[in-house]
Amino acid sequence: MTKRPFWLPTLWVVGFGAACSAPLPPAPPTRVDRATLAPSLDQHRAQLLEYLAIDTTNPPGHEARAFPFWSQALLSLGLEVELDPVDDDRGNLWAHLRAPSPDPGAGPLILLHHLDVVPSERDHWTSDPFEPTERDGRIYGRGAIDTKVLGILQLAALSHLIAAKQRLRRDVIFLAVYDEEAGGRGAQRVVERQLPEWQAEYLLDEGGYGVRQMMNGQDLLVIAVAQKRTGRMTLTAHGQAGHGSRPIPNGGPTVLLTALSRLLESGPEPRLVPTTIHSFAQMGRMAGQPRQFLLEHLDWPLAFALISGSLMANKNLGPQVQDSMSLTMLQAGQKDNVIPAEATATFDVRLLPDTDAGSFLEGRRQLLEDLPVTLEWTALPLPASPASPTDDPLFVALSDAARAHEPQALVSPWLLVGANDSRFFMPAGVKAYGFLPIFLDKAQLDTIHGHDENVAIDELEKGLITYTDALARFLLRQP
């Protein structure tokens, strides 16, 4: 009979006795309520429908098709619109709202969203993705979540800020960019060309969202404060060529298979970064004992050791605690009876914010040092950037607004395991947060980049109010 470790009963006693779930703190009062935005809610809903109807699928992009929509919307607010077109009907657009008397040293806040959307498999949609429809209390269309809806939330907030312009504490720049869904060339162009002049201090982007009944009936809203760094790695096997009728143990594909087995079976060890410690502690409130205790004490090595296996087994939480390599492409041979000398594999690599790219590559190479293979970066991750602080006035304003309008929801910082355009601004010293205060159900999460992407109309209206409230808290002096 296997003996339990002597410390396990003690841990359970401590977990049940000392980690009782604390009640949610009282919600702050609202500053912008439904009555404030009620006259414009139908207008913003109509604007979303009009925006969704513009096909900006990337590739090829053609994001400049949305320029007339945004030019008209921003000009109607009294803002001057600047266009930066590039080849093939693409480009960036921005408008600058200037504070009459900004606070000393207060740099601008950029409101960023991307104009492009991912391709749609139209045969799998119940309606045309670019003929947005309203049914069953929802709006269906490509970009309804990712991320044309964010542009409309920003437009609503801008309208409110302009009405209170004399109380504005810093400049605000509305920025719509091309190519986020492919290489991020639009954002990189801004960082190279406009950011040195703008001297922006903050950026709000996509990357945070709400989920209804995330766990045990509890709603959760996350605010992205950091993200994994994306890269691409290529493995090339160098073997022998030969006739398919005479199997050889060191043909290119066979060598590649051996190397792949080692890499995929020997993943990097799970580990924590400060953002995940904070967010898992918040999420522990939803878990029930003893998981709550473990999640609230992940900075204890023993607690992390006990729960890391279950975290790794969760497809949504596992990437939060591990550098990852996902095999995405294989290539070998040109004819079925020829064993090729070379075979290649491509990996989508996502590094935790503080992982050294060189050390990560060297660790993977050591697993393969006796094989005739080469492993190299073909797209190097961006430099490591610190997480945006959770004690910053902007994060506090976002969190307070979310709790004011969704007092039953947990609000937590988040490590984004995907990638968005914030990754180009953060190395330049811009504090970036991902904030989209629209709640989705779990089924809707699968429509992002999937089929029948949609947003609930009542959730859209709540999001418009919450986003406007958040910016009013951060940007406006009290009357």
Q: What is the mean pLDDT of residues 159-176?
A: 98
The DSSP code sequence of 359-388 is HHHHHHHHTTTTSSEEEEEEEPPPPP-PPP
Q: What is the pLDDT of residues 366-411, one digit of tens each?
A: 999 999 999 999 999 998 889 999 999 999 999 999 999 999 999 9
Cis amide prior to 133 (ω within 30 degrees): no
pLDDT of residue 215: 86
Q: What is the mean pLDDT of residues 103-114?
A: 98
Q: What is the mean pLDDT of residues 13-18?
A: 40
pLDDT bin (cut points 50, 70, 90) of residue 148 is very high
Residue 427 backbone class (left: φ over 0; alpha: ψ -120 to 50; beta: rest):
alpha
Q: What is the pLDDT of residues 326-365, one digit of tens each?
A: 999 999 999 999 999 999 999 999 999 999 999 999 999 9
**Segments in 76-171 forming alpha helices (H):** 148-163
Considering 23-27, 112-116, 283-287, 301-305, the range whose residues carry the highest mean pLDDT is: 112-116
The alpha carbon torsion through 434, 436, 440, 442 (nearest 10 deg) reads -10
Give the whole-angstrom CA distance, residue 403 versus residue 409. 7
pTM: 0.92
- Listed by start position, the domains of the chain span 34-222+388-475, 226-379
Give the whole-angstrom CA distance, residue 281 versus residue 299. 10
Q: Which stretches does DSSP call E strand in 24-147? A: 81-86, 90-97, 109-114, 133-135, 138-140
Give the whole-angstrom CA distance, residue 122 versus residue 126. 8
pLDDT at 316 over 90: no
Reading across the β-sheet that carries 454-456, which strands appear in turn?
Answer: 133-135, 138-140, 454-456
Structure tokens at 168: 């504005």
Q: What is the pLDDT of residues 267-308, one digit of tens each?
A: 889 999 999 999 999 888 888 888 899 999 999 999 999 999
Which residue, among 332, 183, 323, has the nearest Cα to 257 in the 3D structure? 332
pLDDT of residue 22: 60
pLDDT at 16 over 50: no
Rg (CA), the chain: 25
pLDDT of residue 21: 52
Q: Do 172 and 161 touch, CB atoms closer than 8 A?
A: yes
Arithmetic mean of pLDDT over the chain: 93
Is the pLDDT higher at 413 or at 8? 413
Q: Class of the 226-379 domain?
A: alpha beta
Q: What is the mean pLDDT of residues 435-458?
A: 95
Q: The domain 34-222+388-475 is classified under which CATH number: 3.30.930.10, 3.40.50.720, 3.40.50.2020, 3.40.630.10?
A: 3.40.630.10
Q: How many of the other CB atoms lie within 10 Å of CB of 296?
A: 23
Residue 13's H or E segment, with its range, is helix 8-18
